Amino acid sequence: MLFKDLNLIEPILRALNTEGYSTPTPIQEQSIPVALAGRDLLGCAQTGTGKTAAFAIPILQHLYAEKSNGQRTKGIRALVLTPTRELAIQIDESIAAYGRHLGLKHLVVFGGVSQHPQTAALRSGTDILIATPGRLLDLMQQGYISLSNIEIFVLDEADRMLDMGFIHDVKKVIAKLPSKRQTLFFSATMPNEIANLADSILNEPVRVEVTPVSSTAQTIQQSMFFVEKMDKKHLLIHLLKDKSIERALVFARTKHGSDKVVKDLMQHGVHAEAIHGNKSQNARQRALSNFKSGATRVLVATDIAARGIDIDNLTHVINYELPNVPETYVHRIGRTGRAGASGIAFSFCDREEREFLRDIQKLIGNAIHVTNEHPFVMASGSADIRRTLPQRTTQRPQTQTARRTFTTIERSSDRNTRSENNAGQRMAVKKTNRFPYQID
């Protein structure tokens, strides 16, 4: 199926063509017709599946139709609520790209920066508002924003809202929305509180679900490096000597750890910047822009800061430290290999992280290829680590296309109630006929 088969208007098709998009992803193929029909939607999808276009395109088409028919209403008509500043900015950029020929106004508001430019833009009016919960409530309380004319409400990454403690703010926003509206609800997982929230705000929703969280991308080549903790910085510098690694997104578990990695890299002549919660919004945006433009070769991030970051043509992700929640591994390496492109994921495992590795391989149902093609292989401990890992894994069945049902919300498994990033595109592990933990 092509985008032109989804009954989209010519200006949107022209914009998609400019962006180089012709074929919708599974979430887009299933969601766009539902949203265009005015139905409420429950989308179970992680970042990287194309869900932004799945809701942005129907919003644009709906509002443009009203404008063309002379039915344009004053005030904000569509609200997209999302958990992080970075994701809010990216959604605004996507709406700008898809709606470039429509003449609709859109605005993004978020905390961490002065509100004055945002309030000035609000005074001139907007059709679509993208917002984070805290800043939205602040501006509502100050009288700058009214939600009385909202026709379409999008709640994006609902489970992440819960993880980050925003769920009560979300409920406050929902209480101010008109009862007669269309609601598009997206969540990677469905813990009980999120399922109950969806039950309470959706009207006979169509459920669209794409690949489960444990799936891993077939286009991503994964490699595991057993290394002593003290040698991780040396291994990272060694790997970055490879000039084919033009840009690398490196994950650390803590803010302090991220800063330390940047310091080590800079001391060895590798230009790097960190992005985490202790950085100001301007610093985070500057670091992200530098990385996207190629001015910065390495971006070191914590998981929360990197949530939803979409970087075109990112070829390498490096897990400097393994995450203690296995779903987070899937989310991290899903930053590369997006939209069918190829990608490479390197992961460092020290002695203290072997249980994390066990949980990751159990989740994805495969052993990760281990390499000793570096000078910092554990001299005596790697064999001990391998002996503690499962010797066999069972491949989980994977679904290649989205599933759509007209049923009530299903409760997720206990695995899906875990609170970390729970993201994932389809990824596959590099296969070997040898013992799965054999060092080459």
Give the tens place of pLDDT for each residue, 180-213.
999 999 998 888 899 999 999 999 999 998 865 5
- Percent of the chain clearing pLDDT 70 (strictly above): 80
- Report residue 429: phi and psi, to 5°: -90, 140
Strand partners, 182: 152
Query: Does one domain contain both 139 and 178?
Result: yes
Query: Does one domain contain both 237 and 131?
Result: no
Query: Does one domain contain both 205 and 224?
Result: no
Q: Which residue has the tokens 């008109």?
A: 178
Domain count, the chain: 2
Q: pLDDT higher for 434 or 377?
A: 377
Tokens representing 126 are: 């907007």
- Report residue 85: phi and psi, to 5°: -65, -45
**pLDDT for res 302:** 85
**pLDDT for res 337:** 73
Query: Does one domain contain both 187 and 249?
Result: no
Contact 270, 240 (CB under 8 A): yes
Query: Does one domain contain both 138 and 278?
Result: no
- Report residue 162: phi and psi, to 5°: -65, -45
Query: Does one domain contain both 71 and 196?
Result: yes
**Residue 300 and residue 302: Cα distance in Å, rounded?**
7
End-to-end CA distance of the chain: 43
435 pLDDT more than 50: no
Average pLDDT rounded to a whole number, residues 146-171: 93
Query: Does one domain contain both 51 and 163?
Result: yes
The mean predicted confidence, pLDDT, of the chain is 82
Inside any domain, residue 436 = no
Pick the last residue of a domain from 176, 209, 242. 209
Query: Does one domain contain both 247 and 374?
Result: yes
Helix (H, G, I), strand (E, B), or coil: what is residue 16? Answer: helix
Secondary structure letter of residue 349 according to DSSP:
E
**pLDDT for res 327:** 74
Query: Does one domain contain both 165 and 268?
Result: no
419 pLDDT more than 60: no
**pLDDT for res 349:** 94
**Residue 7 and residue 10: Cα distance in Å, rounded?**
9
87 pLDDT more than 80: yes
Band (pLDDT 50/70/90 cuts) for residue 393 is very low
Query: Does one domain contain both 235 and 384?
Result: yes
Burial (CB count within 10 angstroms: exposed 0-12, middle 13-18, buried 19+), residue 373 = exposed
Least confident of 145-154, 286-295, 409-418: 409-418
Give the CATH number for residue 259: 3.40.50.300
Q: What is the pLDDT of residues 244-269, one digit of tens each?
A: 998 999 999 888 899 999 999 999 99
Quote the domain boundaries for residue 59.
3-209
Inside any domain, residue 48 = yes
430 pLDDT more than 90: no
**Residue 388 and residue 22: Cα distance in Å, rounded?**
47
Helix (H) or strand (E) holding 403: strand 403-405
Secondary structure letter of residue 68 according to DSSP:
H
Q: What is the pLDDT of residues 58-80, one digit of tens each?
A: 999 999 998 887 766 678 999 99
